[in-house]
Amino acid sequence: MDMKQRIAELVSEMLHAAYPDAQGLPEDIASLLEVPPEKSMGDYAFPCFKLSKALRMGPPMIAKKLSEVADKPDVARVECVGGYLNFFVNRENFARDLLSAIMQAPEKWGSSEEGKGKTVCLDYSSINIAKRFHLGHLSTTVIGNALKRIYDFQGWKTVGINHLGDWGTQFGKMICAYKKWGDKEAVEQGGVDEMTRLYVRFHEEAEKDPAIEDEGRAWFKRIEDGDEEAMAIFQWFKEVTLRDAMKVYDLLGVSFDSYAGESFYVDKTDRVVNELKEKNMLIESDGALIVDLEEEKMPPCIVIKSDGTTIYATRDLAAIFYRKDTYNFDKCLYVVAYQQDLHFRQIFKVVEKMGYDWAKEGLTHVAFGMVSYEGQAMATRKGHVVYLEDLLQRSQEKALAIINEKSPNLENKEQVAKEVGVGAIIYTTLQNNRIKDIDFWWDRALNFEGETGPYVQYTHARCCSLLRKAPADLPAPDYAALTNDEAQALLLLLSRFPEAVSESCQRNEPFLITRATTEIAKAYNKFYYEHRILDEDQAGTAARIQLTQAVSQVIKTGLYLIGVSAPERM
């Protein structure tokens, strides 16, 4: 139901009717359509200049001839002015056709089957064991979750993967410290904070007594060998970390289909290492085994370190083949900070050089910029760390204070404050294109005016309130009530929503949906301020209510796709 497309089809029909034997006519008419500078010249214009060569006729003649064959089309009135055909959209029909199309299956508006039969793996959030969930992991979690919903909505089969950072010598040290100075209860209670304390203690003690380093290494060796005691403690550290992370995931409404992290791939690295050897791609360099990428102007990809162990990249290579075998993905997306750009370019290139063509199109690094907080960059070492749990907690408290002030009588205020507070943070994260750095400010995120989560949610709640108030026995809608400029602008945005979703999926850019949804909310409010929705004329009211229904559903869908809930009352 894209108006531009409909007009393009009309032009195409007119061309074929007027010039049945013409050769060399343009294929993509929609791209030739223009939007005239003034409304009095129509909603769309088709310039006939490009046809004059193929038709051997002056543009004004062509325009005239085309306008003659246009026999009262129902989409638009046609006028010819010089070499242009101007189209005045039939506003009433546009409103009727679009709203009937949306109302057929409102929750599906914007969905498609583009991904039918295809599978996408999404690697996102991918937190590190024994580390607190901080602001730095917000974008990957929120972008990944949104993309998963968007791909689902476009008909893809999706596999959400939390590629846990759960391998490395630090875990040996942590276990060593736990055995020496740790306490079960303290870890259960303190979680990641207690593990960090143990880790710090390990380094302090090792300064005094370097022999402790060897003990740490020995514990890591025991993990590598699958020793029962080491594995049990390691496993328990993982559970405790995930238990805390789960609180954040629950609040954000984020879920995964797999938690297979780095440790899962350690015993699966042989396969890729052997294949690299067979293909003569491994070179020895200072005792390490590397894949040379000089031709590609990149530093070499280390596969096996000089001590014989694997690295992050090796485990990622193993993961690629495991995922390809297990899920047979068409695409595998890595929602990871821009800082890891080189890492991904290297491993993708290695797979490509191994002769796997699917690496080119199939493996994508979905990079994003940095997050700072009220003007301060996140710096773990300098101690300026913002924990996600605290951020979400504060956001809910602040939202509750605003709601207490604005709607003191609202029922289940806490629940709404949760949806608004969490929604504000997600919205802020998905407001601009990924690569742009984000500076997070409370006043901006929680403002009920302007381009914010609460503003869009509030518009949805406004729609719901009107729908509750609407009389139940309305007559058939009179779409003449929707021919005004405000309603038409809104209808146009609704008609383009499916395009926004599709483009957002193709470009892995959730912000396109944030933007489309916000524009709809803004246009609805404009319409609402200029026109009474519930008025005397029942048939007009019916049309405005139907438009309200469509808007409320499309906003709800848009918010859902970016991972934000849409409360019905605020």
Dist CA 421 CA 391 (whole Å): 10
The DSSP string of 2-43 is -HHHHHHHHHHHHHHHH-TT--S--S--GGG-B--SSGGG-S
Dist CA 203 CA 199 (whole Å): 7
Number of residues engaging ligand ARG in binding (CB under 6 A): 9
Q: Does 419 bind ligand ARG (CB under 6 A)?
A: no
Binding mask 306-325 for ligand ARG (x = CB under 6 A): ----------x--x------
At its nearest, how many Å lie between ligand ARG and the CB of residue 278?
25
Contacts of ligand ARG in 266-285 (CB under 6 A) = none
Dist CA 161 CA 22 (whole Å): 54
Dist CA 296 CA 292 (whole Å): 9
Look at residue 166 and give its three-state secondary structure: coil
Q: Which one of 85-93, 120-128, 386-394, 486-494 is the stretch in contact with ligand ARG (CB under 6 A)?
A: 120-128
At its nearest, how many Å lie between ligand ARG and the CB of residue 512?
24
Dist CA 127 CA 136 (whole Å): 10
At its nearest, how many Å lie between ligand ARG and the CB of residue 193?
18
At its nearest, how many Å lie between ligand ARG and the CB of residue 242?
14
Q: Does 528 bind ligand ARG (CB under 6 A)?
A: no
The residues that bridge with 157 in the sheet, in sequence order, are 119
Among positions 198, 336, 533, 550, the unique one binding ligand ARG when judged by CB under 6 A: 336
Residue among 364, 276, 289 at smallest CA distance from 318: 276
Residue among 42, 41, 43, 61 at smallest CA distance from 51: 61
At its nearest, how many Å lie between ligand ARG and the CB of residue 28?
39
Chain Cα centroid distance, residue 553: 19
Binding mask 125-164 for ligand ARG (x = CB under 6 A): -x-x----------------------------------x-
At its nearest, how many Å lie between ligand ARG and the CB of residue 126?
4
User: In the chain, what is the straight-line distance between the N-terminal and C-terminal CA atoms, in Å?
Assistant: 32
Q: Does 171 bind ligand ARG (CB under 6 A)?
A: no
Dist CA 144 CA 129 (whole Å): 19
Among positions 219, 334, 440, 560, the unique one binding ligand ARG when judged by CB under 6 A: 334
Among positions 160, 165, 563, 567, the unique one binding ligand ARG when judged by CB under 6 A: 165
Q: Does 362 bind ligand ARG (CB under 6 A)?
A: no
Question: Of the listed 137, 324, 331, 365, which one is catalytic?
Answer: 137
In the residue annotation, 131 being an active-site residue is answered as yes
In the residue annotation, 137 being an active-site residue is answered as yes
Question: Of the listed 131, 353, 365, 556, which one is catalytic?
Answer: 131
Helix, strand, coil percent values for the chain (each to nearest 5): 60, 10, 30
Q: Does 519 bind ligand ARG (CB under 6 A)?
A: no
Question: Of the listed 134, 163, 331, 353, which one is catalytic?
Answer: 134
User: Is the Cβ–Cβ distance between 561 and 149 less than 8 Å?
Assistant: yes
Q: Which one of 58-66, 102-110, 122-130, 378-386 is the stretch in contact with ligand ARG (CB under 6 A)?
A: 122-130
Task: Name the phi and psi angles at 535, rounded to 5.
Answer: -130, 180
Q: Does 495 bind ligand ARG (CB under 6 A)?
A: no
Dist CA 318 CA 310 (whole Å): 11
In the residue annotation, 134 being an active-site residue is answered as yes
Name the residues annotated as catalytic: 131, 134, 137
* Residues engaged in binding ligand ARG (CB under 6 A): 123, 126, 128, 163, 165, 316, 319, 334, 336
